[in-house]
C-alpha cells in the first residue's frame, strides 16, 4: 500500500503587528543618539583627532581614569563596609543608620561640591575659626590643603555615590545564610576572616555592579569637576564644542567616553562571569546579628556616621543655612521660572519615558520577531552613556533636521516658523527620555514578568483586544511599579546637569542649571533656594527607595 505525500500549505507571510513596529521604533529612537555620536566622530567636518591626541586628550583621559578608579574604590570600600556592619552587627544607632546611609543619594554631587568649598574656603567657617583660635592673620601664617583640587573632587563624588554600592551590597549580604559563617566561627575564624573568606566573595558580583554604576556616574559628572577645575573627558566635550565651536571634535571625545563606558561594563560582566554562588533554600537561615558593646559599638557607629555626615549633613546644612540667610531670594521671579521649567520638562519627560518603556516591553512580549527582543537590552545603553555624550548625539542631527523642517515650512507657507525642535525644550525632553529609558523599561519588564500569563490569556479568550488587555489587566496590577519608575525618572531629570546645560533653549533655566550658574559666580546665596528644592525632590526618591528595599 503506497502513501501519498500531501505538500504542506505554504505559510502566509505575516506582517509585523502595530505593537512590534512600535517597539522597534522606540528602540531605534533610544539607540540613534549613540549611533549618531559614533558616525560624527568617524566622519567629522573638521578632523582634529590628531590635535586632540597630541595636546589635551591624554590629560582628559588621565584625570577621568584617576577619578573613576579613586571614586569607585572608595565607594566600594565605604559602601561594602557600612553594608556589612549594618547587616551583621547590632550597635548604637544601627537601626537609624540603615536608612540614613541612603540620604546622600538626595544630594547631587555638584551641590556637595559647592557646599564643601563654601565650608572650607579661606572665608569659610573652618579657616576663619582656625585663624581666630591660633591668632593667625592671613593665609601665609598657616598651611591649608587646596580645596579646588582632584582630591576634593574625589571626596565629594565618593560621599555622594557610595550609597549605590551600599544599597546593592546590603541586599546581597542579607540574602546570605548564617550557616557558612557559623561553620567558619566554629573553626576559629575571626570577624575579619569571615568577612574576607565568606561574606565578601559571595557578595562580589553585587559589589562589582554597584561599583560599575558609581564609576559611570563619575564619568557623567560635570558640575563637580568643572567647579574644582579638574579637566576630564566630559569637560573636554563642553570646551571643544562650546569654546572651540567644533562639533566633530566634541563627538570624537564623546566616542572616547562611550568606549570607556563599554569597556567598564564589559569588565564588570567578565569579572563575575565565572562567579556562581547558590543558597540552598532548605538550609537558608537569616543572619543573626552580633551585638557590639563598648568601644566596638562606638567604632561601628562612627564608621557609619562619618560617610553620612560628609555626604548629607555637611552639604545640606551649608545649603540650608544660605537659604535661611537669603529668605528674600525665594521670591525671585527667576527661581519661580526655573521651578516651573523644571516641573514641566521633567514631568513631560517622565510621562513620555515611562509610557514608551511600557509600550516597548508589552510590544516585545507580544512580538514573535527576534529583532525587537534583541534590541530591547541595547536600549539600556542610554543610562550608561553620560548626558554630555547624548547631547552631542541628539543636538547635531536634530539641528540639521530642524533647519530642513524650517526651510520646508517657509517654502510652503511663506512664514518663518523658526527652529521648533532645538529652539524649544523638545531636545531636552528627548535627551531625558533616552538617558533614563532603562529605568522605565526595567521597571515595566520586571513588573509584567510577575503577572501570571493566564490572566491576559483569559482576557483575550473573552474577546478583549491587545490594547484592552494592557489597560484592563496589566496596568492595574503593575500600577505601583509604574508610579515608582515615574518618580525615579522625574527625580533623575530634575538632577541632570550636563545634558541640560548643552540642550536647554536660550535663556531657559531649570533648577539644576540655576544652581550651577549661580554657584559658578560664587553666589551661593542665590543658588541655595534652587539647591534646596533639588534636594527635596531627591529626598522623595530616597524615601521611595527605602520603602521598596525593606
Q: Three-class SS string for 419-467?
A: CCCCCCCHHHHHHHHHHCHHHHHHHHHHHHHCCCCHHHHHHHHCCCCHH
Cα-Cα-Cα-Cα dihedral sign, residues 164, 168, 174, 177: negative
Residue 6 pLDDT: 46
Q: Please spell the DSSP secondary structure of 149-168, one letter per residue.
A: SHHHHHHHHHHHHHHHHHHH
pLDDT over 90 at 9, yes or no: no
| Cell 568601644 found at | 295
| Residue among 154, 100, 224, 244 nearest 234 (CA) | 224
Mean confidence (pLDDT) of the chain: 83
Which of 236, 482, 492 lies closest to 383 in space, CA to CA? 492
Model confidence at 421: pLDDT above 90: no
Q: Point out the least confidently predicted range of 96-100, 284-288, 484-488.
A: 284-288
Rounded to the nearest 5 degrees, what angle is found at the Cα of 265, between the Cα atoms of 534 and 501?
35
Say whether pLDDT at 119 is over 50: yes
CATH T-level topology, domain 64-235+264-274+289-323: MetI-like fold (1.10.3720)
Write the CB contacts of 427 (distance below 8 Å, at least 6 apart in sequence): 394, 395, 398, 421, 503
How many whole angstroms separate alpha carbon 512 and alpha carbon 500? 8
Cα distance between residue 405 and residue 294, in whole Å:
72
Q: How far is 535 from 161, CA to CA, in rounded Å? A: 15
Query: Do the domains 18-46+326-550 and 64-235+264-274+289-323 sit in the same CATH topology, yes or no?
Result: yes
**Backbone φ/ψ region at 74: left (φ over 0), alpha (ψ -120 to 50), beta:** alpha
Using the predicted structure, report yes or no on whether residue 305 has a pLDDT greater than 90.
yes
147-202 pLDDT tens trace: 888 999 999 999 999 999 998 888 888 877 666 665 556 655 666 666 766 667 77
- Is 388:222 a contact under the CB 8 Å cutoff? yes
Name the nearest CA neighbour of 434 among 501, 383, 378. 383
Write down the pLDDT at residue 272: 61
Average pLDDT over residues 92-102: 91
291 by DSSP, 3-state: which?
strand
State the pLDDT confidence band at 510, using cuts at 50, 70 and 90.
very high
pLDDT tens digit string along 430-449?
A: 999 999 988 888 888 888 88
- For 17, 179, 267, 442, the CA distances from 182, given in Å and listed in that order, are 56, 5, 33, 37
Q: How far apart are CA 531 and CA 519, in angstroms?
A: 10
Superfamily holding 18-46+326-550: MetI-like (1.10.3720.10)
Q: Phi and psi of 87, rounded to 5°?
A: -80, -35
pLDDT at residue 11 in the model:
47
Cell of 348: 513631560
* Number of Cβ atoms within 10 Å of the Cβ of 65: 15
Encode pLDDT of 58-76 as tens digits. Answer: 999 999 999 999 999 999 9
Q: Look up the pTM and report it.
A: 0.84
Positive or negative, the Cα torsion across 81, 82, 85, 88?
negative
270, 421, 422 from 399: Cα distances, Å: 39, 8, 6
Q: What is the mean pLDDT of residues 74-95?
A: 91
426-454 b/e with 16+ CB inside 10 Å = b?
A: bbbbbbbbbbbbbbbbbbbbebbeeeeee
In the chain, what are the domain boundaries? 18-46+326-550, 64-235+264-274+289-323
Amino acid at each position: 500500500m503506497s502513501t501519498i505525500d500531501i505538500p504542506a500549505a505554504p505559510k502566509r507571510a505575516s506582517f509585523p503587528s502595530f505593537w512590534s513596529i512600535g517597539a522597534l521604533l522606540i528602540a531605534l529612537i533610544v539607540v540613534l543618539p549613540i549611533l549618531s555620536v559614533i558616525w560624527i566622530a568617524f566622519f567629522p567636518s573638521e578632523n582634529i583627532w590628531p590635535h586632540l591626541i597630541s595636546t589635551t586628550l591624554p590629560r582628559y583621559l588621565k584625570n577621568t581614569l584617576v577619578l573613576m578608579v579613586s571614586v569607585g574604590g572608595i565607594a566600594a570600600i565605604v559602601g561594602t563596609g557600612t553594608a556589612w556592619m549594618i547587616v551583621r552587627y547590632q550597635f548604637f544607632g544601627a537601626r537609624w543608620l540603615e536608612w540614613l546611609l541612603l540620604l546622600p543619594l538626595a544630594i547631587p554631587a555638584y551641590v556637595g561640591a559647592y557646599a564643601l568649598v563654601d565650608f572650607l574656603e579661606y572665608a569659610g567657617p573652618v579657616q576663619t575659626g582656625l585663624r581666630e583660635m591660633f591668632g593667625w592673620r592671613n593665609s601665609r601664617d598657616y598651611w591649608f590643603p587646596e580645596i579646588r583640587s582632584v582630591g576634593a573632587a574625589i571626596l565629594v563624588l565618593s560621599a555622594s555615590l557610595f550609597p549605590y554600592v551600599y544599597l546593592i551590597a546590603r541586599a546581597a549580604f542579607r540574602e546570605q545564610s548564617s550557616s557558612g559563617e557559623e561553620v567558619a566561627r566554629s573553626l576559629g575564624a575571626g570577624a575579619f576572616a569571615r568577612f574576607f573568606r565568606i561574606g565578601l566573595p559571595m557578595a562580589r558580583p553585587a559589589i562589582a555592579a554597584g561599583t560599575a554604576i558609581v564609576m559611570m556616574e563619575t564619568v557623567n559628572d560635570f558640575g563637580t569637576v568643572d567647579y574644582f577645575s579638574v579637566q576630564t573627558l566630559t569637560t573636554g566635550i563642553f570646551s571643544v564644542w562650546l569654546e572651540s565651536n567644533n562639533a566633530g571634535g566634541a563627538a570624537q571625545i564623546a566616542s572616547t567616553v562611550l568606549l570607556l563606558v563599554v569597556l567598564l561594563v564589559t569588565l564588570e560582566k567578565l569579572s563575575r562571569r565565572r562567579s556562581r554562588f547558590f543558597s540552598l533554600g532548605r538550609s537558608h537561615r537569616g543572619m543573626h546579628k552580633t551585638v557590639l558593646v563598648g568601644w566596638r559599638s562606638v567604632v561601628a557607629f562612627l564608621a557609619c556616621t562619618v560617610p553620612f555626615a560628609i555626604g548629607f549633613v555637611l552639604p545640606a546644612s551649608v545649603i540650608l543655612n544660605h537659604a535661611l540667610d537669603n529668605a528674600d531670594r525665594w521670591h525671585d521671579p527667576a527661581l519661580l521660572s526655573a521651578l516651573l521649567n523644571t516641573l514641566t520638562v521633567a514631568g513631560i519627560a517622565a510621562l513620555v519615558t515611562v509610557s514608551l518603556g511600557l509600550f516597548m516591553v508589552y510590544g516585545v512580549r507580544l512580538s514573535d520577531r527576534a529583532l525587537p527582543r534583541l534590541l530591547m537590552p541595547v536600549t539600556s545603553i542610554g543610562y550608561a552613556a553620560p548626558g554630555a555624550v547624548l547631547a552631542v548625539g541628539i543636538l547635531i542631527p536634530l539641528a540639521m533636521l530642524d533647519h530642513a523642517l524650517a526651510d520646508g515650512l517657509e517654502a510652503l507657507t511663506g512664514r518663518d516658523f523658526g527652529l521648533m525642535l532645538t529652539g524649544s525644550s523638545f531636545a531636552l525632553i528627548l535627551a531625558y527620555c533616552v538617558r533614563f529609558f532603562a529605568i522605565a523599561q526595567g521597571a515595566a519588564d520586571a513588573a509584567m514578568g510577575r503577572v501570571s500569563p493566564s490572566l491576559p490569556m483569559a482576557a483575550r479568550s473573552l474577546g478583549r483586544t491587545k490594547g484592552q488587555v494592557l489597560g484592563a489587566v496589566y496596568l492595574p496590577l503593575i500600577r505601583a511599579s509604574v508610579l515608582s519608575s515615574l518618580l525615579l525618572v522625574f527625580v533623575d531629570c530634575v538632577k541632570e546637569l550636563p545634558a541640560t546645560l548643552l540642550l536647554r533653549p536660550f535663556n531657559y533655566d531649570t533648577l539644576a542649571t540655576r544652581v550651577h550658574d549661580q554657584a559658578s559666580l560664587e553666589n551661593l546665596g542665590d543658588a541655595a533656594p534652587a539647591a534646596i528644592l533639588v534636594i527635596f525632590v531627591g529626598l522623595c526618591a530616597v524615601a521611595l527607595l527605602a520603602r521598596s528595599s525593606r
